[in-house]
A and B are shown apart, each in its own frame.
Chain A
Amino acid sequence: MESRLLKPMLAIYVGLFLLFLYGPFIVLGILSFQKGPEGGPQFPIEEWSLFWYRHILGLAPPSRVSPLPIGISLVRSLTLAFMTMVASTVLGVMAAQAFRRNFRGRSLVFYLIVLGMIVPGVLVGLGSALVATTTGIERHWYTTAFATHVVYTLPFCFLVMLAIFNRFDGSVEEAAWSLGVSPATTFRKITFPLIFPGVLSAMLFAFTLSYDEFSRTLFSSGREQTLPLAIYSTFAVEIHPNVFAFGVLTTLFSFALLAVYAILMSLSVRRARRMAIQEAV
């Protein structure tokens, strides 16, 4: 029958599909080892070297290629991502906690929050820049850009926490309440440890989305550039392999972040299991 042939054909197609997804990175990775500073951003590799990596770290001798403006913009991006992570996780957990009960305007509020991840960044950026200019508020990455970043990341945190609370067994909380434990203490001692894996995921979402956010920041951050803006400004001129080396380094950074997340996650799962065993004994 046809389907006996179909499955291997589809498997080959998926292989090609993955090549399509990864091809550009592979090429970018290879070209980041181009000889410098004369080597261009294309094949052939004249000579394998780490020149462009040293160039990024500011270790290469001065040449006609100006170094990428990373340093301070990296600090700004990390700070902004951290601020966004804290704000949107707190707001998201609170909002999801509220959604465990029924209240008037529930579905309207749901759409209002989810709207934040649907509206394209260029429009949110434009809107907040308009509000800032007409009200005379100065734009900075830590004020206006921070506000628009949270608008974007809050829906992700909210949805993650909503999914977590959906599978949450409320009877443990009720047991604590009936024993007279105050709601605040119950949340701190019972609820929070149980939802902690979800909180970690929400934090990861918020941090990475904000760290990489570009279109929202473009209009709302004022003169001091974050890292994506600094990178974008180099695209206007001729690109050099230092952009490729930078791409490899940021990808490695993202994977490091993912590894930290995985470690924290497995630690919290293990702790939860240990507590469950103690209770059973």
Chain B
Amino acid sequence: MTTTELSASAIEMAPQSSSKSGGAYLLIGPAVVWMTLFLVVPMAMIVYVSFWTQTTFKIESTLTLASWRTFFASDTYLSSLWTTIRIWLTVLAATFFVGYPTALFVGLFVKNKTLQTALLVLCVIPFWTSFLIRVVAWRPMLGKEGAINILLMKAGIIHQPIEALLFTELSVVIGMTQIYVVFMVGPIAFMLGRIDPNILEAARDLGAGFWRVLRKIIFPLSLPGVVVGAIFVTVMVLGEFATSAALSGRKVNLLGNIIVTQVGSLKWALASVVGVILTTIMAIVIAGLLLVVDLKKEL
């Protein structure tokens, strides 16, 4: 670069450095516009359309509470609301109890960093398979002639195949637990890995048994991880419809399944009502979980 070029570009630079935050708005602008147009506006639209008037073939922007009344007057919709809440709580508990010991081992007992990473990678690898394939993979496992029944019969534990394994609420819970448990393991293992070993040693030196250390020290310190994991699982399970459709033989209808059927028959207003209800539940749960732990302070 010659001297004249240098000084020329130096002059070019001068005004830019004085309007630094102006540059930031230019950089952030496209992302903000994109998220507003394609996320905020659609979400607002769901709320708005839930008050529209639905006729058999058309939807009009005359405001009414009719679709809301339809939802709360119908046994089918209300029971799907309870099914959703029941399955969400069951899966939440299952992912916690199945995942916590694994997180405990990976985060606290494995001292070797390489082994720790390797175990976490092993947990993540299944995510490289298509989500739908992971769901459908449970069918040959749980079916009447499925792998589990065959193994149990060969082992002589049962003599009749267990039919309740597939196309029931249980199969939906099993499938969802397997798919989402890793989102519980990851954050908990992360928090456990940060515990100072000296604290645990001190507790042990003072004569505390393992269960006491677990209850009084380890669990409270891992709570932020549990909350983050619970938020992940909650959001994903409440938005589910594919697992329940594929593993329950359409017997378990979650709110997500109601949305899909309503959209399929062009009942936009009712689908929107269900959407608003789902969003509300999710917001309440997340707000409640964030009250338990102040994440900004902990992470």
- A contact set with B: CB distance below 8 Å: 1-3, 6-7, 10-11, 13-14, 17-18, 20-25, 27-28, 31, 41-43, 91-92, 94-95, 97-99, 101-104, 109, 112-113, 115-116, 118-124, 126-131, 133-134, 147-148, 150-151, 154, 158, 177, 179-183, 208, 212, 214-215, 218-219, 228, 231-232, 235, 239, 243-244, 246-247, 250-251, 254-255, 258
Q: How far is the CB of B46 from chain A (nearest CB, A)?
A: 5
| Selected A-B contacts with CB under 8 Å, 25 pairs | A6-B210, A10-B105, A13-B105, A14-B106, A21-B123, A21-B182, A25-B129, A31-B140, A41-B139, A95-B31, A98-B27, A103-B28, A112-B32, A113-B31, A120-B235, A120-B236, A120-B238, A122-B259, A127-B43, A134-B49, A150-B34, A181-B9, A182-B13, A228-B130, A247-B129
Per-position 1/0 for B36-51, Cβ under 8 A of A: 1111111101100100
Contact B41 A131 (CB under 8 A): yes
Distance of A13 Cα from B146 Cα, bound (Å): 24
Contact B126 A22 (CB under 8 A): yes
Distance of A123 Cα from B27 Cα, bound (Å): 28
**Apart from A21-B123, A131-B45, what are 7 other A-B pairs with CB-CB below 8 Å?**
A11-B105, A124-B39, A127-B45, A134-B45, A154-B34, A219-B263, A251-B133
| B150 CB contacts on chain A under 8 angstroms | 43
Distance of A97 Cα from B126 Cα, bound (Å): 33
Distance of A115 Cα from B209 Cα, bound (Å): 43
Partner of B31 from the list A21, A92, A130, A214 (CB cut-off 8 Å) is A92
Distance of A3 Cα from B242 Cα, bound (Å): 42
Partner of B145 from the list A1, A7, A21, A43 (CB cut-off 8 Å) is A43
Contact A180 B101 (CB under 8 A): no
Q: How far is the CB of B205 from chain A (nearest CB, A)?
A: 12
B119 interface residue, CB < 8 Å from A? yes
Q: Which of B133-192 contact A (CB under 8 A)?
A: 133-134, 136-141, 143, 145-147, 150, 178, 181-182
| B182 CB contacts on chain A under 8 angstroms | 21
Distance of A148 Cα from B37 Cα, bound (Å): 10
Q: How far is the CB of A107 from chain B (nearest CB, A)?
A: 10
Known: A41-B139, A180-B7. A94 touches B31 (CB 8 A): yes
Q: How far is the CB of B280 from chain A (nearest CB, A)?
A: 11
B6 interface residue, CB < 8 Å from A? yes
Q: How far is the CB of B7 from chain A (nearest CB, A)?
A: 7
Per DSSP, chain B at the interface is: helix
- B contact set with A: CB distance below 8 Å: 1, 6-7, 9-10, 12-13, 16-17, 20-21, 23-25, 27-28, 30-32, 34-43, 45-46, 49, 98, 101-102, 104-106, 109, 119, 122-123, 126, 128-134, 136-141, 143, 145-147, 150, 178, 181-182, 209-211, 235-236, 238-239, 241-242, 245-246, 256, 259-260, 263, 268, 271-272, 275, 278-279, 282
